[in-house]
Amino acid sequence: MSGFNLFDAEEKNLEQAEDLRRHLLTAPEPVKDGINTLIEAYSRSVREQRRLVKVSDRLQAQLASVNQELGKRKAEAEDALESLKAAQESLVQSEKLASLGALVGGVAHEINTPVGIALSCASHLADSTAAMGKLFDADDISVEDFERFMATVVDTTGLILSNCERAAELIRSFKQVAVDRTSSERRRFNLGAYIRETLASLGPHLRQSGHAVRVECPDGIVMDSFPGALSQVLGNFVMNSLVHGFEVGQSGTLAITVDRPAPDLVRLIYTDDGKGIPEEHLGRVFDPFFTTRRGSGGSGLGLHIVYNLVTGPLGGSVTAESPESGGTIFTLTIPLAP
Ligand SMILES: Nc1ncnc2c1ncn2[C@@H]1O[C@H](COP(=O)(O)OP(=O)(O)OP(=O)(O)O)[C@@H](O)[C@H]1O
Ligand SMILES: [Mg+2]
């Protein structure tokens, strides 16, 4: 912007003042002096205004360049944020891949044992059968030969069966790990009623154990979610309490408490007052194949499945704690409608 046009009127005034000064050459001294002072003051003020306009122009130009700089910085920051998001995304992906890799490695490792045993039993059986065949061809089977052969058959087939069952069981649990969103049915259900139904379905195990079971759930919480996933989660918690929480013959209390930390969230706190989980295990209980019962039926997939169900279809989070005073606490926080 230029100050030129802005000062047209002032320029004219100054010219008129100069004219006036010429006309007043004959006027008395005090009038001339007064007019001169006025004209001086007026032209000083016009100079000052011009200076101010220049300053303001300069400031505006600076402001414009600062604004431009700011715009550039903002664009840079947005770009940086974009690439950060992309980096985060790929980190999450590689984390997923890594944990999938660990899972597959774990499955191979776990299944290796029973399949290996079944295989060597089968080959032992094949050898014994071939030897028996030869004796039969030579018509040279003694009663002892036959008895030994029968004992081998019974032992090896027993081992083959139990180890194949173990492998099949591992594969079954492994299949559950790959939670399929579409395979489980989504529907509306009353949370309190559903928790009680689930516990009732676990009745036989619970009754035998002699533990007390407490449920505290506000009435009228209706969820639009995956009830099958929820009952699988609760089932795992309860079975874990029974298997890991207490010594045989010892009985305690299992409790489920529900509240709503926000209008669209439910928090489900599952506790038992058993042995608890040692501090050094707490960070690993959700890992696939982490179990303190290897060799006596534990595959270590239970809580991993829980983790996948909660963070997958149920769309929430789950934590494990074990206070100094003992017992185990699992806290689920899940949306009413994921
Ligand atoms: N309520 C509990 N009290 C004490 N320890 C627990 C409890 N729940 C889980 N744990 C510990 O966490 C480990 C992992 O549990 P998880 O359910 O994943 O495997 P698991 O029960 O050993 O085997 P699986 O469930 O596959 O049969 C258990 O081996 C146990 O050491
Ligand atoms: Mg378990």
Q: What is the DSSP string of 143-201?
A: HHHHHHHHHHHHHHHHHHHHHHHHHHHHHHHHHHHS--TTTSPPEEEEHHHHHHHHHHH
**CB contact at 8 A, 208 and 281:** no
Rounded to 10 deg, the angle between the 143-177 and 302-311 helix axes is 20
Residue 10 has pLDDT above 90, yes or no: no
Report the predicted TM-score, pTM, of the whole model to 2 decimal places: 0.62
More confident residue, 191 or 32: 191
For residues 336 and 198, the model is more confident at 336
Band of residue 288 on the pLDDT scale cut at 50, 70, 90: confident
> Do 71 and 39 form a contact (C-beta atoms < 8 A)?
no
Ligand nearest to the CA of 306: 1
Flag the least confident range among 45-54, 117-126, 179-188, 223-232: 179-188
List, in sequence order, every residue forming a beta bridge with 12; answer none if it has no partner.
none
Using CA atoms, how far apart are residues 295 and 298, in angstroms rounded to an integer? 7
Residue of minimum CA distance from atom 20 in ligand 1 = 300
Return the pLDDT at 138. 94
Is the pLDDT confidence value at 196 over 50?
Answer: yes
Q: What is the mean pLDDT of residues 325-331?
A: 95
Q: Is the pLDDT of residue 214 over 90?
A: yes
Average pLDDT, the chain: 88
Residue 308 Cβ inside 6 Å of ligand 1? The answer reads no
Any idea which ligand is nearest the CA of 252?
1
Rounded to whole angstroms, the Cα distance separating 122 from 153 reads 10
Instruction: Quote the strand ranges of the chain, DSSP E.
Output: 187-190, 212-216, 222-225, 253-262, 265-272, 317-321, 328-335
| pLDDT tier for residue 231 given thresholds of 50, 70 and 90 | confident
CA 275 to ligand 1 centroid distance, Å: 12
Q: Which residues surround ligand 2, an ion (CB under 5 A)?
A: 240, 302
Average pLDDT of span 294-321 = 88
Q: How remote is the C-alpha of 155 from its chain's centroid?
A: 48
CB 282 within 8 A of CB 292: no
- The residue whose CB lies within 8 Å of the most ligand 1 atoms, and thus the one to mutate among 177, 237, 240, 321, is 240
- Give 274: exposed, middle or buried? Use CB within 10 Å, 0-12, 13-18, 19+: buried
